[in-house]
Amino acid sequence: MPDCPGEEARTPMELYEKLNSQGDTVRSLKAAKAEKAEIDSAIQLLLKLKVDYKQMTGQEYKAGCPPSENSVIPDNETAADGVIDEDNVDPWNVSTTNAKGVDYDKLIVRFGSSKIDKELVDRIEKVSGQKAHRFLRRGIFFSHRDMHQVLDAFEKQKSFYLYTGRGPSSQAMHVGHLIPFIFTKWLQDVFDIPLVIQLTDDEKYLWKDLTLEDCHRFAVENAKDIIACGFDVNKTFIFSDLDYMGASPEFYRNVVKIQKHVTFNQVKGIFGFTDSDCIGKISFPAIQAAPSFSSSFSQIFGGRKDVQCLIPCAIDQDPYFRMTRDVAPRIGYPKPALLHSTFFPALQGAQTKMSASDANSSIFLTDTPKQIKSKVNKHAFSGGKDTIEEHRKHGGNADVDVSFMYLTFFLEDDEQLEKIKQDYTSGALLTGELKKTLIETLQPIISQHQERRKQVTDEMVQQFMTPRPLNFKL
């Protein structure tokens, strides 16, 4: 069937392919000496597609030059209803004007990633032999790159490794910070694979008003909270960039290779750097990219450079890995695969994510049961009605209710969650009752975390952070 020009291309790749085929159409019409009017109209369409392409990708269309993964569709496009949509998502900012939070489906289109659909979730269950984690069942990990390829290889006994990280900007971690680690721990368990965790103390030094010593100290402190998530010391390597960069020649060699293959223009386009950003920031993305390649860890992979990497992370980190995936083939390495999560909303509402610098926006891992109770009761944005009478009559709105959103992250029982949603929406369940369920769900999770963290000794941290062989079969 010929390509239907009326159908909207949704991704840069679709548009690129459309342009290719329209180019073919024009050429064959010309070769066949078709009517002038017919050729003209085909050229008109080609020109229109070129303009669309430039608008969507910020790049000129060139045959034989597919759009790079870095061609993100610009923000602030006008939505179909004419409303300017102000989702803002990059490694340093996350905000939206929508109370339901960021429109994640749109983000998939803009970033050119793929949706984690039911089929993929089923497949992960099948290949791992385990019930999917609630983060997968509930769309909290919602987007991916190349996950099918990872599973294909795994089914053929070809294993992979996990890479995730954290920017240690303060001692205080909140529950939102745990999301990628809780999920990564599950992946490590069900696939039985090695894991590297990067603590970017260098990044925080470059971006924040902190000393190198502070950043390094936060890295070690944060490592304790990460270890408390239950990672297997025989399969996990945690490293501070400030320590490991100097200690591992292979790691630094990869950083330099990446630096040689990315231009200032490219990082400006991807990260929005300007001429007045310090050069440390401009070269930093290479350091976050390097752990995506197995040859950066000679003690673990013994010089192998072909072990596939899978990166679970929040979607705001994707710019780093779009860049990484662009460079990988040029320096002879496999592209890392990705699993992206949504953000953990602030107590005040899903317009922004939790922030460690605003005590009232977050539930900290150090909060007491009393603090948890009072924060949820005082600050958690409610989708309930103003009076009990109205609430009983019209019901609440779970889609904007932060307490309900938190339950989707932390309440394990699917049926109970569904019942809460129905009862809240119908008005049978009041906001105070919903909040009580959340408080009772969070309190034990946080106190158990605190218990486990207390058990983490300095020697254990030392062990996790020592470059060494890990225990696994590839």
Site for ligand TRP, rule CB under 6 A: 91, 163-167, 198, 200, 203, 288, 311, 313, 317
Nearer to ligand TRP, 25 or 254 (CB): 254
Q: Least distance from C-beta 312 to ligand TRP, angstroms?
A: 7
Q: 198 or 240, CB closer to ligand TRP?
A: 198
Residue (262 or 400) nearer to ligand TRP, CB: 262
Comparison of 173 and 398: residue with beta carbon closer to ligand TRP? 173
Q: Write down the least CB distance from residue 288 to ligand TRP, Å.
A: 5
Nearest approach, Cβ of 321 to ligand TRP (angstroms)? 8
User: Smallest distance from the beta carbon of 313 to ligand TRP, in angstroms?
Assistant: 3
Kindly state the smallest distance separating residue 180's Cβ from ligand TRP, in Å.
Answer: 6
Q: Which is nearer to ligand TRP, 222 or 408 (CB)?
A: 222
Q: Compute the least distance from the CB of residue 453 to ligand TRP, in Å.
A: 19
Identify which of residues 46 and 245 has a Cβ nearer to ligand TRP in the complex: 245
Shortest spacing between CB 91 and ligand TRP, in angstroms: 6
**Cβ nearer to ligand TRP, comparing 11 with 200:** 200
Q: Three-class SS string for the chain?
A: CCCCCCCCCCCHHHHHHHHHHHHHHHHHHHHCCCCHHHHHHHHHHHHHHHHHHHHHHCCCCCCCCCCCCCCCCCCCCECCCCCECCCEEECCEEECCCCCCCCHHHHHHHHCCEECCHHHHHHHHHHHCCCCCHHHHCCCEEEEECHHHHHHHHHCCCCEEEEEEECCCCCCCEHHHHHHHHHHHHHHHHHCCCEEEEECHHHHHHHCCCCHHHHHHHHHHHHHHHHCCCCCCCCEEEEEHHHHHHHCHHHHHHHHHHHHCCCHHHHHHHHCCCCCCCHHHHHHHHHHHHHHCHHHCHHHHCCCCCCEEEEEEEHHHHHHHHHHHHHHHHHCCCCCEEEEECCCEECCEEEEECCCCCHHHCCECCCCHHHHHHHHHHHCCCCCCCCHHHHHHHCCCHHHCHHHHHHHHHCCCHHHHHHHHHHHHHCCCCHHHHHHHHHHHHHHHHHHHHHHHHCCCHHHHHHHCCCCCCCCCC
